[in-house]
Amino acid sequence: MLNSLSGRLLTLTFIFVMLAEILIFVPSVARFREDYLLARIERAQIASLALLADQRMMLNEELEQELLDNAGVLNVALRRDEVSQLVLSVDRVPPISAQFDLRDATAWGLIRDAMIRLANLEDEVIRVIGNPVQQAGLVIDVTLPTAPLRAAMIDYGLRILSLSAVISVMTAALLFFAARRVVVLPIRRVIGSMRAYSEAPEDASRIIQPSAGVTELRDAETTLCELQTQLTASLRQRERMAQLGEAVAKISHDLRNILTVATLMADRLEGSEDPAVKRTAPKLLSSLSRAVNLCEGTLAFGRAEEPPPKLSRFDLAPLIADVVEQERMAIGDDPIEISGDCVSGLVVRADPEQLYRVLGNLVRNARQAIASKGTSGRITLGAAETPEGWTIRVADTGPGLPKKALDHLFQPFHGGARKGGTGLGLAIAAELARGHGGRLDLVETGPGGTVFEIFLPDSQNL
């Protein structure tokens, strides 16, 4: 109970109300002490004025003691017409332990004196000086015992504390039920919704619907609703990707067998005497070999990640030329120009098959983006060596990447640069570049075209 939110609110409310009442209790007791002393002065003044009104009145000891007892004092001295006169007094006044002048008492002084009186257990005699009421003289001072004063202060304080305790309990109870209805019950509803959602996060019907009346709780429910919606969509996407991966693995397995047969049959074309066949047979075999390697890599990816690159040093210019020629064959009637700007003899250290896939994906994406707009365009491949490694640029004059592609760049299945695209090309290219210890960066994009850069580090400089 006490560990719950409502239980702690109940406890804290009771404590804070009691602290507030204690802060009220101290000045209240001080004010009660002042009123008590002023009342004794007023009673003593009434008794002394009645006596002074009739100078012939002769008091016996019993009557004088009765007047003093009714006033609650031991003696009364009244100053009138610049003359002080002891009006009433007991036979023997005990020694006076302290003197208090109520005429110029400050609030802090009254509080201090009241707390000291409560802490002092001894019965003492004090002298109190005050102003007579109704201007019946200049000064009046009385002496009185402190035991009745302290007893009255304790009685008053206990009544104040009892009332404070009742108020605290009532306030805490009201706050408990109010907080339980306004805060605790909505929080429990959110917790129940979270538990129900955790049992089946792919079920969109279990997503919380914001309904709280408290602004902060409604904001929390809205945020939770957005998170659950994103998580459900992500889980569904992962499920589809898993199913797609399984299907692709099966297709790749069968396709690899078909391509292997096609490669064996294409080997026989190399012995043909037809010049056109002799010219195209090596490129056909190279394409089939890359297709077989891609299928094997797809199967490996289904088991783990992209296989690590087999690094070697080779001339980059022929590989760029192969990419350019392969994509030129796929252009068809589109007015797109593809060119490679790489000096012969530029040796890089990379996996040629994987680097071919990176460049092929980038050029293919650029070609398809330009073709989707139905306009002419140009794609240029260039390379340069730096002290840290090598930089390969793929630039096009296409329409640029849309915002959807920029928001999820290099993430698969988040929409490609063209309608119907999957976004796999850039994701594969970026992963292969990272496998080399390098990176794939988008340098610029816009209506004037798009530029990608591949950086391959030289391991000797790492």
**Per-residue pLDDT reduced to its tens digit, 215-265:** 877 888 888 888 888 888 887 777 776 766 666 666 665 666 566 656 656
Average pLDDT, stretch 288-304?
60
Looking at residue 438, its pLDDT comes to 92
The answer to whether 355 and 319 have CB atoms below 8 angstroms apart is yes
Encoded amino acid at 290, one letter:
R
Rounded distance between C-alpha atoms, residue 386 and residue 60, angstroms: 124
Q: What is the pLDDT of residue 266?
A: 65
Locate 89 and state its tokens: 């007094």
Residue 89 lies in a domain: yes
**Side-chain-side CA neighbours of residue 371 (13 Å):** 16
Last residue of one domain, picked from the residues 148, 172, 196: 172
118-135 burial, b if ≥16 CB within 10 A, otherwise e? beeeeebbbbbbbebeee
Q: Once rounded to an integer, what is the mean pLDDT over residues 290-297?
A: 64
Joined tokens for residue 435 = 């496998």
Full domain range(s) for residue 91:
5-172
Within a domain: 429 = yes
Q: Residue 381 falls within a domain, yes or no?
A: yes
In tens, the pLDDT along 74-114 reads 888 887 666 566 677 776 778 888 889 888 888 899 989 88
**Range 241-278 burial, b when 16+ CB lie within 10 A, else e:** eeeeeeebbeebeebbeebeeebeebeeeeeeeeeeee
What is the C-alpha to C-alpha distance for residues 170 and 149, in angstroms, rounded to an integer?
32
Give me the pLDDT at residue 392, please.
Answer: 94
Q: How many domains does the chain have?
A: 2
Q: Residue 178 and residue 213: Cα distance in Å, rounded?
A: 14
394: CB partners within 8 A, 6+ apart = 359, 362, 363, 366, 379, 380, 381, 451, 452, 453, 454
How far is residue 438's CA from residue 395's CA, in Å, rounded to a whole number?
A: 19
Q: Which of 119, 149, 172 is the last residue of a domain?
A: 172
Place of tokens 């096609």: 262
Residue 306 lies in a domain: no
Give a yes or no: residue 273 inside a domain: no
Q: Cβ distance 209 to 225 under 8 Å?
A: yes
Domain presence at residue 268: no
Q: What is the mean predicted confidence (pLDDT) over 191-202?
A: 83
The predicted model gives 369-388 an average pLDDT of 88
Show which of 144, 172, 200 is a domain's final residue. 172
Instruction: Give the CATH number of the domain where residue 451 resides.
Output: 3.30.565.10
- Asked whether residue 395 carries a pLDDT value surpassing 90, the answer given is yes
Q: Which of 227, 46, 239, 251 is nearest to 133 (CA)?
A: 46
Domain-embedded: residue 346 = yes
Tell whether 184 is covered by a domain.
no
User: Which pLDDT does position 247 carry in this prediction?
Assistant: 67
pTM score above 0.75: no
Burial class, 68, CB count within 10 angstroms (exposed 0-12 / middle 13-18 / buried 19+): buried
